[in-house]
Amino acid sequence: MRILGVLNHKGGTGKTTTAVNLAAGFALRGSRVLLVDLDAQGSVAAALGVTYTYTVTDLLLGNAELTACISPARENLDIIASDRSLIEAEGALWRMNNHDASRLQLRKKMRGLKGYEYVILDYSPSISLMGQNGLLYSHELLVPVSMDYLALMGTRQVISTLKEIGRIQNHQLRLTAVIPTFYYGRLRKDREVLDTLKRYFKKEVTNPIRANVKIAEAPGHRMTIYEYAPNSNGAKDYKQLVERVADYGTKAE
């Protein structure tokens, strides 16, 4: 089971869009996927039009068992939803007064999960205790980067976090992909940012997700890009990303 975290410490980089469409893309390939929302905005359930009873907050606080917190979203695709109550869970973790235990709560609660080939976590962009829980549960990190220089700063913060996690004993977390998003090939700025990414990250940089209005419209219709506009550039780019990440897993085995 591959556990993939999608993270950038700057908002507006297409993080949730990437998590949702990556998860849906794997599901369309026939893989069983669980998408976990670690952002209090609760965008995952909203984007997929999923109704739910229990959230990741209930899981972390022991209000419900893991299986009860899993909601079906599509064929082969389930989610654990989030909402504003996640702020309550964050507070409860701080009140544990046990640094190690508070950071490992998600890993503890997810123990015993079976039947999935992929678990994908959609992080909040903020640096938080909930984010640390996600990082200590994940095995791989995917970093979407929009084509502006502030997003590059957020990416540097992610890499710094990755190095810190890498020093923790008995936990392996690797950078699998840096994903350029909202890319306009005609714009010099976008080409410069892409060149900068390739210079720093080399083979980890994927082909860009081109700026595409259909990608922005799909969540408003409670659809993935494959459902809303299957012939769009956005669908083509995300399908290519799915293949790239799937192939990486094969090579890493």
Question: CA–CA separation, 119 vs 23, rounded Å?
Answer: 8
pLDDT, tens digit (0-9, with 9 covering 90-100), for 83-133: 999 988 888 888 887 778 888 999 999 998 999 999 999 998 877 888 889
Structural domains in the chain plus CATH codes: 2-252 (3.40.50.300)
pLDDT, tens digit (0-9, with 9 covering 90-100), for 168-219: 656 678 889 999 999 999 999 999 999 989 988 889 999 999 999 999 999 9
Strands 118-123 and 140-146: unpaired
Question: CA–CA separation, 190 vs 151, rounded Å?
Answer: 12
Going from the C-alpha of 204 to that of each of 40, 113, 221, 236, the distances in angstroms are 29, 29, 32, 19
pTM value?
Answer: 0.92
| CA-angle at 74, arms to 68 and 75, nearest 5° | 100
Rounded to 5 degrees, φ, ψ at 122 are -100, 110
Q: What is the pLDDT of residue 100?
A: 80
Question: CA–CA separation, 149 vs 204, rounded Å?
Answer: 19
Q: What is the pLDDT of residue 99?
A: 72
Q: What is the pLDDT of residue 98?
A: 79
Size of the chain, expressed as the number of residues it contains: 253
